[in-house]
A and B are shown apart, each in its own frame.
Chain A
Amino acid sequence: MNLAALEYDHLQAINGPLIFLKGGEKLPAMSMVQIEDKDGGIRMGQVLEVSSSHAVIQVLSHTAGLSLSGTRVRLESDVVTVDVSREMIGRIFNGIGRTIDGKQIVVAEARLPVTGNPINPVSRDKPDEFIETGISAIDCFNTLVRGQKLPVFSEAGLPAADLVISLLNHARIDEYRKFLVIFAALGITRREMNKYMKVLSDEGRQLIAFINLAEDPPIERLLTPRFALTTAEYFAFRLGYHVLVILSDMTSYCSALREVGAAREEVLGRRGYPGYMYTDLSTIYERAGRIKGLPGSITQLPVLTLPEGDITHPVPDLTGYITEGQIVLEHRLHRKGIYPPVDVLPSLSRLMNNGIGSGKTREDHRQLANQLYACYAKGVDVRRLVTIVGEDAISEQDRIYLRFAELFERELLHQGRGRRSISETLDTGWRLLRMFPSDQLTRINREMISRYYSAILEDGRPSPLER
């Protein structure tokens, strides 16, 4: 069929990012079109709805300057596709996959639809390979494994970008040649992007970037993560790379989704976000994983900005239901100068148990993490109590917990820009636990206590209480 023959010029209405086309009934659902304005300028668009009388097209760019007369719409391709190639490494693209670094155009090795297909649950492989990030708050309590999707829940003013950068700098990767970072900037500022790009592009790290900045049309943002993930799938599952995809910031992505939903006059769900946002987000997050019998993997680190730190806001809420845990950053710790300011209590890695233990990290990891967590939670409870009844009214026992919480934050969570190996992290944890007599460590069995707790007692270094 001659695609070029499909051309329409009878626009009925323009409403925000949408144009309504009379006729247009031959356009396939969800196909990609070119929109040529009366001055010959070209915009891209996607068919959202088509019927025998009209078609609704979402313009993937600004619509300013478009007029009902003189605008022509041509079918470009049946589905939105991305041209992928090994040559993409080291290149920078805009939000809809066009090169913006001024270098020559990439020659395609394959042309893939950006929506991608769901991985058959039967074909998925269990993610269980530990990634040592070098960050205690993550390695010890919220262990990351290959093929996981683990978002960072941040707030305005918190160093989410720094955390992601630390993670990239410290993460120990065995096969450096087969490691690729794909960075999708979704509506972030130029300042933030520069911060990322400076680190991402040095030391010969293999990188592909898709950039949609705050100043770019928000509508393009809906496709940007899909371009990034389709590229990721090509490298991971056809070429055997371990791909880490950074999506920053998913909150801007969801705002764009809301904008389009409102323009289409859809029934809106909570806080104006469309009812299908869960499904839409899942078609992004679920593209992380590993596949049986294939060497590569896709690990996702989406970054979210929580409005007012509200974890029940629809964006983090729906994200949390799909992703495999979350790393939560917190203002109080940040103000105290603790870096990274990870609040371990609401943070979680659901795949942690698959990636830790003897042979992967250390046999005591699970029990030690549980115990540290329990003691810290208790300490935080006491801290809250103290604000009500005052420090004098609490028991001797509670005072130890209070002190523990303080030291836990300063000694274990706080590590500055340095890197800590997993065994350094775990040993620090054991040293903190010396504040308690061994029979109070109910989350750790006797075997581990005799093997590690006693060893720490004998290592001659002073217990944190004595310092």
Chain B
Amino acid sequence: MTGTIEKISGALIVAKGLEGVFLNETLEVGNESIPGEVIRIQEDHCFVQAFEETAGLRVGDPVRRRKQLLCAQLGPGLLGSIFDGILRPLDKLAGQQGHFLRRGAFLDPLDCSKRWHFRPSVTAGQEVGPGDVLGTVAEKAHIQHRIMVPCGARKSVVESIREGDFTVEEPVAYMEDGTPVIMRASWPVKLPFPHGGKLDATDLFITGQRVLDFLFPLAAGGSAMIPGGFGTGKTVLEQSIAKFSLADIVVYVGCGERGNEMTDLLCEFADLPDPRTGGRLLDRTVLIANTSNMPVAAREASIFCGCTIAEYYRQMGYHVALMADSTSRWAEALREISGRLEELPGEEGFPTYLSSRIAQFYERSGMVRCLGSGGRTGSLTIIGAVSPSGGDFSEPVTQETLKAAGVFWGLEPSLAQRRHFPSINWQSSYSQYLGALQPWLNEKLGPSWEEHRLWAVAILQRDGELQEIVQLVGFDALQENEKLVLETAALIKENFLQQSAMDERDAYCPPEKQLLMIRMLRCFHDKAGEKIASGMNFREVLAMHERQDCMRLGTRTPEEIISMLPETGET
């Protein structure tokens, strides 16, 4: 089925003569078969966004239908790889094209020649339904890839199944009716991957970042946003979370960001060990790179491709984290295409459907019961960075994301300028999961967690009020116990809220250590409070050894902190 190009305007192409074409169908455009997607149909004309540069195309060039939506190819071999926005493997492209990315056609993300060792977990004669696990493949040394009955299949009896080495195309099993089952699966990226029902998100998503876990916790299966102007440390924070969070699988979508950052991530993850499995960090990671100078339309697709891969691993029963840096670039891609379509613009030129698109994306997160038997659960946690223009949070992307995400980790330029990292603003940030997480926190970390948290929040709030007074009358005009609040708050900021991504010991801080650290700080505050009540002046408080003990707490081991804490009976 071939049509022809009628008009070319930037990334937008108008084609005619494509009979039966459907919305969001993928096409091959021009003599080089560059990938495109139908985004509007009007009588005989269809509007196509091209996933590649359109320079050199001519009116009259052929356009061919592929008769399918933009699909992600899923199967073993995704982990540890880096793809572009429409899931073309970048290392394979480098092999074919050299150091620079040239225009190309669709490319399979999976290696069709590689053989994987398949181990069945059901036997012939067993009845299986959609989502049931047929067997496993050791995709990486520590990660089992579960091969599942395709979502669209009917309940049926396994006719034959065997252990052995297969490519992703070869049948590993046959059903009663003769249908072969292969390891490759495929799913249209813009539709949510099926699951067996959403569950409440009640477990802490452990990031190992104190200010996040302790003050504004995120639930596994929840969603969070990190808005911040340039230089506020968005990317470093996203990368720290990708490195240290206790997720089984991490999908990192670099969407419209710097090329050097993706390279950095790739090199670093290849070297770093995964603290939980002993494998490499890269082994649990899928990287999707659509850097800022790569084609814009593919930027729009990259987020959905990442989502689909993440959901696929969630369906296996894994806890998956998806990082998207940055969703603003994705929204700008929507705006650019919308502008070319001459749609009626909404606020700041963004399309009016921006709000629903953002909501659709964040709603793909969730703790779910996996489709199929066996009672598996999995989660997908989404953390999206937002790059508001001019650092102004009132712009549409930030505002629409606020409605969709459950946690708001706002980055503050004045903190970043002071090199206070992560530069999370503790006054404006919030988490909507605090209530839902309570039972889990109580059980795993003890009831004192919440009590200490409230104490720290109160100190920081009082500090905010007192700072305003200091601005007016000066520090010396404060009472001694007010000075103490400022001092404790300063210690909390310097030694607890700040965390060095460069320091080996400080970069990741487990919740248990977070609790010890806050106890240490509180211990100073209480002791000093008593001393002040009995007449000690503030200058002497500064010389207390408890204050010295609070310095550089993050770089100490939990054992060291325990040895410094007085016996309180609390464990």
Interface residues of chain A, those whose CB is within 8 Å of chain B, are 25-31, 48-52, 78-79, 113, 115-127, 147, 237, 266-270, 275-276, 278-279, 282-283, 286-287, 289, 291-292, 294, 312-314, 317-318, 320-322, 324-326, 345-346, 348, 351, 353, 366, 370, 373-374, 377, 385, 388-389, 393-395, 398, 442
Most buried by A among B8, B98, B332, B345: B8
Say yes or no for B80: interface residue by CB 8 A criterion.
Answer: no
Could you pull out 17 A-B pairs where Cβ atoms are within 8 angstroms?
Answer: A26-B60, A29-B58, A50-B7, A51-B9, A118-B100, A120-B101, A121-B263, A124-B259, A126-B263, A126-B264, A126-B267, A270-B390, A289-B260, A317-B391, A325-B231, A389-B472, A393-B474
Take A120-B94, A279-B336 as given contacts and tell me if A318 and B293 are in contact as well, using a CB distance cutoff of 8 Å: no
Most buried by B among A31, A275, A348, A377: A275
**Chain A residue nearest to B91 in the complex (CB):** A122
- CB–CB A51/B6 < 8 A: yes
Say yes or no for B289: interface residue by CB 8 A criterion.
Answer: yes
**Chain A residue nearest to B339 in the complex (CB):** A267
Which chain A residues lie closer than 8 Å to B392 at the CB level?
A: 312
- CB–CB B349/A120 < 8 A: no
Most buried by A among B55, B60, B256, B335: B55
- CB–CB B260/A122 < 8 A: no
Which chain A residues lie closer than 8 Å to B551 at the CB level?
A: 442
Which chain B residues lie closer than 8 Å to A294 at the CB level?
A: 99
Take A267-B345, A289-B260, A377-B418 as given contacts and tell me if A120 and B293 are in contact as well, using a CB distance cutoff of 8 Å: no
- CB–CB B260/A124 < 8 A: yes
Say yes or no for B419: interface residue by CB 8 A criterion.
Answer: yes
Which chain A residues lie closer than 8 Å to B259 at the CB level?
A: 118-119, 121, 124, 286, 289
- CB–CB B56/A79 < 8 A: yes
- CB–CB A385/B502 < 8 A: no
Say yes or no for B462: interface residue by CB 8 A criterion.
Answer: no
Q: How large is the interface on B (under 10, 10 to 19, 20 to 34, 35 or more residues)?
A: 35 or more
A325 to B236, CA, bound (A): 14
- CB–CB B263/A30 < 8 A: no
Which chain A residues lie closer than 8 Å to B55 at the CB level?
A: 28-31, 79, 113, 115
Q: Indicate which residue in A119, A278, A320, A394 contacts B101 across the interface (CB closer than 8 Å).
A: A119
- CB–CB B474/A30 < 8 A: no
- CB–CB A51/B8 < 8 A: yes
Say yes or no for B292: interface residue by CB 8 A criterion.
Answer: yes
Q: How far is the CB of A248 from chain B (nearest CB, A)?
A: 21
Q: Indicate which residue in B100, B417, B474 contacts A389 across the interface (CB closer than 8 Å).
A: B474
- CB–CB A29/B8 < 8 A: yes
Instruction: Mark interface residues in B74-115 (1 if CB within 8 Å of A CB, else 0).
Output: 000000001000000011011001111110000000000000
Which chain B residues lie closer than 8 Å to A314 at the CB level?
A: 389-390
Instruction: Mark interface residues in B391-413 (1 if CB within 8 Å of A CB, else 0).
Output: 11000000000000000000000
- CB–CB B263/A125 < 8 A: yes
**Chain A residue nearest to B418 in the complex (CB):** A377
A154 to B14, CA, bound (A): 43
- CB–CB B58/A394 < 8 A: no
Q: Please classify the interface of chain B as helix (H, G, I), strand (E, B), loop, or mixed, using the class held by over half of its residues.
A: mixed
Q: Indicate which residue in A26, A121, A442 contacts B58 across the interface (CB closer than 8 Å).
A: A26
A282 to B329, CA, bound (A): 12
- CB–CB B387/A118 < 8 A: no
Take A30-B54, A119-B259, A275-B349 as given contacts and tell me if A320 and B230 are in contact as well, using a CB distance cutoff of 8 Å: yes
A398 to B335, CA, bound (A): 50
A389 to B478, CA, bound (A): 14
Instruction: Mark interface residues in B346-377 (1 if CB within 8 Å of A CB, else 0).
Output: 00110000000000000000000000000000
Q: How far is the CB of B28 from chain A (nearest CB, A)?
A: 17
Most buried by A among B93, B264, B293: B293
Which chain B residues lie closer than 8 Å to A324 at the CB level?
A: 258, 260
**Chain A residue nearest to B59 in the complex (CB):** A25
- CB–CB A51/B230 < 8 A: no
- CB–CB B59/A26 < 8 A: yes
Say yes or no for B57: interface residue by CB 8 A criterion.
Answer: yes
The 5 closest A-B pairs by CB, nearest first: A312-B390, A282-B292, A51-B7, A30-B55, A393-B474
Which chain B residues lie closer than 8 Å to A115 at the CB level?
A: 53, 55
A124 to B263, CA, bound (A): 6
Q: How far is the CB of A441 from chain B (nearest CB, A)?
A: 11
- CB–CB A269/B349 < 8 A: yes
- CB–CB A388/B472 < 8 A: yes
Which chain B residues lie closer than 8 Å to A353 at the CB level?
A: 502
- CB–CB A345/B417 < 8 A: yes
- CB–CB B291/A121 < 8 A: yes
Take A51-B7, A442-B494 as given contacts and tell me if A270 and B389 are in contact as well, using a CB distance cutoff of 8 Å: yes
Which chain B residues lie closer than 8 Å to A320 at the CB level?
A: 229-231
A248 to B329, CA, bound (A): 26
**Chain A residue nearest to B350 in the complex (CB):** A275
- CB–CB A275/B8 < 8 A: no
Take A121-B266, A317-B389, A353-B502 as given contacts and tell me if A29 and B260 are in contact as well, using a CB distance cutoff of 8 Å: no
**Chain A residue nearest to B53 in the complex (CB):** A115
**Chain A residue nearest to B287 in the complex (CB):** A121
- CB–CB A278/B59 < 8 A: no
Most buried by A among B9, B91, B474: B474
A289 to B260, CA, bound (A): 8
Q: How far is the CB of A4 from chain B (nearest CB, A)?
A: 17
- CB–CB B230/A52 < 8 A: no
A286 to B256, CA, bound (A): 11
A116 to B99, CA, bound (A): 12
**Chain A residue nearest to B235 in the complex (CB):** A350
- CB–CB A275/B417 < 8 A: no
Which chain A residues lie closer than 8 Å to B296 at the CB level?
A: 276, 279
A126 to B266, CA, bound (A): 10
Q: How far is the CB of A159 from chain B (nearest CB, A)?
A: 23
Take A51-B59, A118-B101, A317-B230 as given contacts and tell me if A322 and B292 are in contact as well, using a CB distance cutoff of 8 Å: yes
